[in-house]
């Protein structure tokens, strides 16, 4: 037993040593091998022809063999045979070997006529067959030897989908030598128990047993043509198995070229929570963008940058991007500049703060902006809760200045990006966004040139500060994964869909509209965390599973957080021409009322009283105009007090 183990260890050591040799050494070894095998092929050809062990009678008799060997080696070197990796040898390599040996056979025959009076005419033909068998066979043996070793060292995986994409995927995995496909799984009963490329196809019902028996920890989804609903159903079936699930891009991407190992990606949360997208309506997408100068504030953020990508594809006359973060703007510049050259769109990257009135006025007038998407905001609840003054200045005064400057500069359309946290807010961030909504609503006038609107939606998958990237980071670090409350629910939407709906909603406004995006069904955050852990190939360590990989910690709701977010404050909701965009009928203060409210806000800002400001904002956002009974702020018009909008 010890001898067998030592032999296996020795063989593994030899294989690892071979694979680890420098490329130049491997090429030299192949050249030396061919230099040995070709003379052997000549000797065997003579021996078979003469019926005994052939031995050259003179040095002159060896010359034809020398010429043949040198010719074959010269062709091999010239054609790049030694540059080919043996493990990836294919038909091209075989063609080179056949060419070299054929030319060697030809020169062999000519040399026999030159150096012999009575040549053995069948010897060159025998040489051709023997040389091809030896040269090709040696490489085939090495390939099989290394492949067998690699398969033994590779990770066993299962492919879900035994169609053409699944077989392409297996070929790509074989070439990578990192994975060994041990089974196919497919929901087509006609394929069950069939063997494809030496691998058996099984029914999905046997997946759990297969994974356990074959020690599989990863499964690859090869169903790119399936709809999103079908993919969600398959992923939902796989999620309880705690297998790491990887998937392929869409069928359109697959058809662009041959599959490679780089095409495989981890299953993302949008694959699990996403919905079948509703195709955007071209007339709504282009109404406020096509051949217009568009400004996006907060362009470096998650929503802002995706808006810029979508807008750029719609070919505006100019796209102006404003952000306070130099690095975020630089990253966006590197990404969008090549796209802009392709689409013929002028790009302008502007550093600045939306609370800087002069800067905003100069940007909108110099570039003749006609459409504004106002995405600039501080949106992280705990951060704003700890920095009330700056959060209010940016979210409230930034919106006020943007709206006032836009109106004065002749902007035709202003869209405020809002949040579900503005509905009956329990935190300063939500209250500040609700006040920003009131500012835009108060600016609405049916006779005004500028049409303003608000688009309100929930969490966006992949956005900065979203719970999803945090969970992913915690899972990669081995946990624990922190969840606020076991009964906390949130709405989710993909970044791409949210940006498209924002652009389309802006074209539907009649002035002062509040648009709600259909976010689908709310998701329990604890369930989302469990699914993400399972899809990463790990299990949750909890009661009943003490051997789990990752602990799930419930931290309790943070200050200002709610169990359930809402999208509607009050009033009625009506549909629009787009099935995912709803119009809310909500009351709001008039222009004079907003002047008084903003004066109260400025009063607390000037006195840097965060507690009083937070109390005022929450009372205002939750009760509207009926806040005097709860507010401790001084009444407007007291001696010495004058309303001066923040500059």
User: How many domains in the chain?
Assistant: 3
**Is the pLDDT higher at 257 or at 544?**
544
Quick one: pLDDT at residue 646? Answer: 36
In a domain, 577, yes or no: yes
Same domain, yes or no: 456 and 526: yes
366 and 236, same domain (yes or no): no
Q: What is the per-residue pLDDT across 2-51, written as a single tens digit (0 to 9) for each?
A: 444 444 444 445 555 555 567 677 778 888 888 888 888 888 888 888 77
Segment 86-100 shows an average pLDDT of 74
Residues contacting 489, CB < 8 A, separation 6+:
522, 523, 524, 525, 563, 564, 565
pLDDT of residue 362 exceeding 90: yes
pLDDT tens, position by position, 416-461:
999 888 888 888 898 899 999 888 888 877 677 888 888 887 777 6
Q: Is the pLDDT of residue 351 over 80?
A: yes
Q: pLDDT-derived band of residue 157, with 50, 70 and 90 as boundaries?
A: confident
Beta strands at 581-585 and 293-297: parallel, antiparallel or unpaired: unpaired
d(CA 156, CA 217): 8
* Residue at 607 is within a domain: no
Out of 550, 569, 591, a domain closes at 591
What are the CA-CA distances from residue 238 to residues 13, 161, 261 (Å)?
Answer: 37, 13, 22
Residue 519 has pLDDT above 80, yes or no: no
Question: What's the confidence (pLDDT) of residue 405?
Answer: 95
By the 8 A CB rule, do 295 and 373 touch?
Answer: yes
Structural domain includes residue 72: yes
For residue 73, tell me if it sits in a domain: yes
Domain span at 246: 154-267
Q: Within a domain: residue 639?
A: no
**What's the CA gap between 531 and 269, in Å, rounded?**
9
**Best CA proximity match to 297, nearest among 248, 239, 369:** 369
Same domain? 313 vs 252: no
- CATH number for the domain including 547? 3.40.50.720
Q: Does residue 278 lie in a domain region?
A: no
How far is it, in rounded angstroms, from Cα 546 to Cα 549?
9
558 confidence band (pLDDT: 50, 70, 90): low
361 and 256 within one domain: no
Indicate if 252 and 338 belong to the same structural domain: no
Residue owning tokens 């030694």: 82
**Which of the four pLDDT bands, split at 50, 70 and 90, describes residue 349?**
very high
Six-digit token string for 516: 């709600």
Backbone angles phi, psi at 514, to 5 degrees: -110, 115
* pLDDT at res. 391: 92
Together in a domain, 431 and 552: yes
Residue 638 lies in a domain: no
pLDDT for the residue numbered 4 = 42
Cβ pair 280, 504 in contact under 8 A: yes
The pLDDT assigned to 56 comes to: 72
How far is it, in rounded angstroms, from Cα 558 to Cα 484? 7
User: Are 496 and 410 part of one and the same domain?
Assistant: yes
* Summary mean pLDDT of the chain: 78
| Domain termination site, one of 548, 574, 591 | 591
Alpha helices by DSSP H, 121-276 = 123-153, 164-176, 207-213, 228-238, 251-255, 269-273
Q: Calculate mean pLDDT across residues 577-598.
A: 78
Instruction: Quote the pLDDT of residue 267.
Output: 67
- The answer, yes or no, to whether residue 645 has pLDDT greater than 70, is no
287-310 CB burial, b ≥16 within 10 A, e <16 = bbbeebbbbbbbbbbbbbbbbbbb
More confident call, 218 vs 639: 218
Are 312 and 437 in a shared domain?
yes
The whole-model pTM stands at: 0.65
- For 584, left (φ over 0), alpha (ψ -120 to 50), or beta? beta
d(CA 635, CA 346): 49
Distance CA 161, CA 148 (A): 25
Confidence check: pLDDT of 149 > 80: no
Cβ of 524: how many Cβ atoms within 10 Å? 15
* 119 shares a domain with 197: no
Give the pair of three-digit tokens for residue 171: 């070929």
> Do 298 and 227 share a domain, yes or no?
no
Of 331 and 537, the one with more pLDDT: 331
What are the two backbone dihedrals, phi and then psi, of residue 91, each rounded to the nearest 5 degrees? -60, -30
Residue 402 within a domain: yes
| Whether residues 141 and 230 fall in one domain | no
Question: Which residues face 494 on adjacent strands?
Answer: 461
Residues 258 and 326 in one domain: no
Residue 491: name the closest of 457, 466, 456, 463 by CA.
457
How far are the Cα atoms of 40, 53, 448 from residue 44, in angstroms, in the given order? 6, 8, 98
Residue 9's pLDDT is 45
Lookup: tokens for 153: 């060292």
Tell me the pLDDT band of 359, cut-offs 50, 70 and 90: very high
Length of the chain: 647
H or E stretch covering 334: helix 326-343
Both structure tokens of 99: 């060419």
Last residue of a domain, one of 150, 178, 211: 150
Instruction: Give dist(CA 102, CA 72) in Å, integer.
Output: 8
DSSP assigned state of 564? S
Residue 477: count of CB within 10 angstroms of its CB: 10
């Amino acid at each position: 037993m010890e001898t067998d183990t030592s032999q296996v260890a020795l063989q593994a050591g030899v294989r690892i040593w071979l694979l680890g040799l420098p490329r130049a050494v491997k090429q030299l070894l192949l050249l030396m091998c061919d230099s040995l095998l070709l003379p052997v092929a000549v000797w065997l050809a003579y021996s078979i022809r003469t019926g005994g062990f052939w031995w050259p009678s003179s040095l002159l008799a060896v010359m034809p063999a020398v010429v043949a060997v040198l010719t074959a080696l010269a062709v091999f070197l010239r054609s790049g045979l030694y540059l080919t990796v043996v493990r990836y040898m294919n038909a091209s390599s075989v063609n080179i070997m056949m060419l070299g040996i054929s030319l060697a056979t030809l020169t062999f025959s000519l040399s026999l006529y030159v150096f012999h009076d009575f040549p053995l005419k069948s010897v060159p033909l025998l040489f051709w067959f023997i040389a091809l068998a030896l040269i090709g066979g040696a490489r085939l043996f090495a390939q099989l030897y290394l492949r067998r070793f690699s398969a033994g060292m590779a990770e066993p995986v299962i492919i879900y989908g035994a169609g053409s994409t699944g077989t392409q995927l297996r070929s790509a995995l074989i070439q990578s030598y990192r994975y060994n496909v041990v089974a196919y799984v497919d929901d087509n009963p006609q394929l069950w128990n069939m063997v494809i490329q030496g691998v058996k196809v099984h029914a999905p019902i046997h997946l759990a047993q297969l994974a356990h028996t074959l020690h599989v920890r990863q499964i690859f989804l090869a169903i790119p043509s399936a709809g999103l609903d079908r993919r969600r159903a398959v992923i939902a079936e796989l999620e309880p198995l705690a297998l790491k699930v990887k998937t392929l891009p869409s069928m359109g991407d697959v058809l662009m070229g041959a599959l490679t190992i780089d095409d495989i990606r981890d299953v993302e949360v949008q694959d699990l929570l996403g919905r079948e997208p509703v195709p955007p309506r071209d007339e709504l997408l282009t109404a406020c963008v096509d051949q217009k100068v568009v400004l996006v504030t907060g362009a470096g953020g998650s929503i802002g940058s995706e808006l810029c990508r979508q807008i750029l594809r719609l070919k505006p006359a100019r796209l102006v991007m404003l952000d306070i973060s130099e690095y975020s703007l630089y990253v966006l510049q590197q990404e969008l500049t090549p796209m802009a050259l392709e689409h013929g769109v002028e790009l302008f990257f502007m550093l600045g703060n939306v609370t800087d009135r002069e800067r905003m006025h100069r940007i909108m007038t110099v570039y003749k902006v006609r459409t504004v998407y106002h995405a600039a905001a501080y949106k992280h609840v705990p951060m704003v809760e700890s920095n009330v003054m700056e959060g209010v200045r940016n979210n409230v005064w930034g919106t006020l200045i943007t709206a006032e400057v836009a109106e004065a500069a002749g902007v035709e359309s202003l869209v405020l990006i809002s949040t579900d946290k503005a509905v009956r807010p329990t935190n300063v961030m939500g209250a500040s966004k609700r006040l920003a909504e009131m500012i835009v609503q108060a600016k609405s006038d049916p006779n005004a040139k500028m049409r303003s609107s608000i688009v309100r939606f929930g969490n966006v998958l992949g956005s900065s500060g979203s719970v999803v990237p945090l969970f992913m980071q915690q899972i990669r670090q081995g946990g624990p994964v922190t969840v606020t409350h076991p009964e906390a629910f949130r709405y989710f939407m993909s970044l791409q869909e949210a940006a498209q709906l924002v652009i389309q909603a802006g074209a539907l406004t009649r002035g002062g509209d509040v648009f709600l995006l259909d976010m689908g069904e709310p998701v329990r955050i604890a369930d989302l965390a469990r699914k993400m852990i399972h899809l990463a190939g790990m299990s949750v360590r909890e009661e009943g599973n003490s051997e789990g990989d990752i602990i799930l910690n419930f931290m309790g709701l943070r200050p200002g957080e709610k169990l359930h977010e809402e999208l509607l404050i009050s009033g009625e909701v009506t549909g629009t021409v787009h099935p995912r965009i709803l119009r809310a009928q909500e009351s709001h203060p008039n222009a004079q009322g907003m002047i008084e409210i903003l004066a109260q806000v400025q009063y607390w800002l000037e006195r840097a009283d965060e507690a009083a400001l937070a109390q005022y904002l929450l009372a205002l956002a939750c009760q509207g105009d009926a806040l005097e009974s709860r507010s401790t702020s001084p009444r407007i018009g007291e001696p010495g007090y004058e309303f001066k909008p923040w500059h």
